[in-house]
């Protein structure tokens, strides 16, 4: 069964310290490099999501609008 274009699935093993290794192909596709900070979103019913790292700034702006926008 072929995955739809642009859709991927990988597995990762959780180590003793709770760390996971992101598969190389996933790191390459999404431009994840050592030292990057990733945002993990969790929903007890739907699971864990790791949005693209470039969406962090947008999510931050939505959560914490500047004082100018509050006026």
Whether pTM > 0.75 for this model: the answer is no
| Domain ranges across the chain | 34-66
Task: Give per-residue pLDDT as tens, 44-56.
Answer: 999 998 888 777 7
pLDDT reported for residue 1: 65
Spatial separation of the C-alpha atoms in residues 39 and 14, rounded to whole Å: 17
pLDDT higher than threshold 80 for residue 11: yes
What sections of the chain are H helices per DSSP? 24-30, 56-63, 67-70
Question: Which residues, 6 or more positions from 38, have their beta carbon under 8 angstroms from its beta carbon?
Answer: 32, 50, 53
């Amino acid at each position: 069964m072929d995955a739809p274009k642009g859709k991927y699935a990988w597995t990762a093993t959780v180590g003793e310290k709770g760390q996971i290794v992101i598969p190389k192909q996933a790191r390459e596709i999404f431009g994840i490099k050592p030292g990057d900070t990733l945002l993990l979103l969790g929903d007890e019913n739907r699971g864990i999501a790791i949005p693209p790292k470039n969406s962090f700034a947008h999510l931050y702006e939505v959560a914490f609008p500047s004082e100018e926008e509050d006026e």
